[in-house]
Amino acid sequence: MSDVRKLIVIGGGPAGYAAALYAARANLDPLVIEGFQWGGQLMITSDVENYPGYADGVLGPEMMHDFRRQAERFGAEYLTDDVTRVDFSERPFRVWVGDDEHRAEAVIVATGATARQLGIESERRLQGRGVTYCAVCDAAFYRGKEVVVVGGGDSAMEEAVFTTKFADKVTVVHRRNEFRASQILEDRARENEKIELMTPYVVEDVLGDDKLTGVRLRHVETGEAQELAADGLFVAIGHDPTTALFLDWLDHEETGYLVTRPGTTETNVPGVFAAGDVQDHVYRQAVTAAGSGCMAALDAERFLAAQEGRLATALTAPRDEAGS
Ligand code: NAP
C-alpha cells in the first residue's frame, strides 16, 4: 500500500493529460494511471487538423505524446498500466493495479470511450489509412472522393450528411432495412442527392493493401456478395464508454456513460470527478475532452482546498499567463 496522494487521474487521453497538467501545476502531485495502451482514440487517428494551436495539423499519436510530455514537465507521474479495481466507498479512495493499491483524496476518471469496430482484421490493418471512426475529424480529407459510411443510427446519418460537404458520393450501408436514426436525420440523408442508402448489407471485408480501395458487402437476406469501390470507410456504429470498473460506485446512464452535475465534472461521490468522453456522448472531440479535463482538475483542487480549509489557488489566482 502506498502513501495517500492528493489526486489520482485514471486514463491517458486528452482529458486525463489535461487534468494532469492543470493538477500538476496546482501542486496536486497527480499520479496518472494512464492505461497500458495510453493515448486513447487519437492513437488510431492519422492527421488531426481541428485541434486549436496546431496550425499545420498533427498526427494523433504525436499530439498525445505532446500532451503527455507537457504534464510530465510539471511533475505528473505516470503508471503505464490498467486499473483493475476501485473502491470509492470512503476517502481516501482506493485504486488497484493488480495487487498494488493506490490511495488518494480525490480521483478524476478520464477513461474515455471506444468507437465500436466491425471486428474485421482488414479494418484494423487500414485504420488511419482509409478506415476512420470520426467523420467530423476526417471528412475534409475526402474532398471529391467516394466514401462508405456504415451504421444506421443518428451518428451514421449525421456523419453521412456532413461528409457530403466534401465527398462526391457517400454510400450508407446498414444491416437492417429499418434505420435506428431519428426520422428527421434519416429524411435529411434520404433527401441528399449525394447519398445512397444500401440495406440490408453488412461490410464483410475492407479492401486494399496500404490504402483502402473499397469494401466487400454481403446482402443479409440473399447472401449475395458485392464489391464497392471507395476511398474511405467511416465506421459509425456507436461508442462504448470505458466505465465497467465504476458502475457500482458512480451514477451512470443506461448506456454506461457517467453522469456529472451539469456545468461541473462532479459525480455523485464527492471527491470523484469525471472528464472527457466517459461522460460525454455528444461532442466527443479531443478539444472538448481536454477542456473537461481542465475543469476536473480545477474542481478537484477546489474540493481538496475545501477539505483542508483553504482557498483554492486556481480560483483565486488571476486567469492570465501567471495564473492556474
Ligand atoms: P447507435 O444509436 O447505437 O446506433 C448504432 C448503429 O450501428 C445502429 O444502427 C446499429 O444497427 C449499427 N451497428 C451496431 N453494431 C454494428 C455492427 N457490428 N455492424 C453493423 N452495424 C452495427 O449509435 P450512434 O448512432 O452513435 O448514436 C449514439 C447516441 O447518440 C444515440 O442516442 C443517438 O441518438 C445520439 N446521437 C444524436 C445525434 C443528434 O441528435 N444529432 C447525433 C449523433 C448521435 P442496429 O440498428 O441494427 O442495431
Query: On the CB side of 93, how many CA atoms lie within 13 Å of its CA?
Result: 24
The parent domain of residue 254 ranges over 4-114+239-316
Tell me the pLDDT tens digit for each residue of 239-267: 999 999 999 999 999 999 999 999 999 99
Atom 36 (ligand 1): residue with closest C-alpha? 154
Pairing type for strands 169-173 and 146-150 reads parallel
Q: What is the pLDDT of residues 272-321, one digit of tens each?
A: 999 999 999 989 899 999 999 999 999 999 999 999 887 666 554 444 43
User: What is residue 34's predicted lDDT score, i.e. its pLDDT?
Assistant: 97
Q: 9 and 107 in one domain?
A: yes
pLDDT of res. 41: 83
Same domain? 201 vs 297: no
Ligand 1 pocket, 238 CB below 6 A? yes
For 43-87, write each residue's pLDDT tens digit: 866 678 889 999 999 988 999 999 999 999 999 999 999 999 999
Domain at 156, CATH number = 3.50.50.60
| Residue 195 host element (H or E) | strand 195-198
Point out the domain boundary residue: 235, 259, 294: 235
> Does residue 129 lie in a domain region?
yes
Q: Tell whether 97 is covered by a domain.
A: yes
Please indicate, yes or no, if residue 324 is contained in any of the structural domains. Answer: no
Cα of 158 vs its chain's centroid, Å: 18
170 and 126 assigned to the same domain: yes
Q: Are residues 55 and 19 in the same domain?
A: yes
At 244, which amino acid appears? A
Please tell me which residue in 56, 100, 137, 209 is annotated as part of the active site: 137
Ligand 1: distance of its center to the CA of 238 in Å? Answer: 5
Q: Are residues 48 and 152 in the same domain?
A: no
Is 294 annotated in the active site?
no
Are 121 and 264 contained in the same domain?
Answer: no
Helix (H) or strand (E) run with residue 6 in it: strand 4-10
**pLDDT at 49 (0 to 100):** 84
Flag whether 246 is in a domain: yes
**Long-range own/partner contacts, residues 47-56 (CB < 8 A, 24 or more apart):** 47/138, 47/141, 48/137, 48/286, 49/137, 49/140, 50/136, 50/137, 50/285, 50/287, 51/286, 51/287, 52/287
State the average pLDDT for the chain. Answer: 93
Does 322 map to a domain? Answer: no
* Residue 224: Cβ within 10 Å count: 10
* 30 and 105 both lie in a single domain: yes
Examine the domain organization and report whether 109 and 256 are in the same domain: yes
Residue 69, domain member (yes or no): yes
Task: Report d(CA 60, CA 78) in Å as an integer.
Answer: 20
Domain boundary among 214, 235, 256: 235
Q: Residue 322: what pLDDT?
A: 37
When divided into structural domains, the chain yields a total of 2
Q: Are residues 16 and 157 in the same domain?
A: no
Q: What is the pLDDT of residue 311?
A: 66
Does pLDDT of 171 surpass 60? yes
Tell me which of 173, 206, 235 is where a domain ends.
235
Span from the CA of 150 to the centroid of ligand 1 (angstroms): 10
Å from CA of 261 to ligand 1 middle? 25
321 is a domain residue: no
Residue 208 has pLDDT above 50, yes or no: yes
Same domain, 96 and 189: no
**Is residue 323 included in any domain, yes or no?**
no
158 lines ligand 1 (CB under 6 A): yes
Mean pLDDT confidence for 31-35: 97
60 and 43 belong to one structural domain: yes
Residues 146 and 65 in one domain: no
Give dist(CA 226, CA 134) in Å, integer: 25
Give me ligand 1 centre to Cα 24, in Å.
Answer: 38
Q: Cell numbers at residue 314, please?
A: 486556481
- Does residue 200's CB lie within 6 angstroms of at least one atom of ligand 1? no
- Check pocket membership of 218 for ligand 1, CB cut-off 6 A: no
pLDDT given at position 309: 85
The pTM score is: 0.79
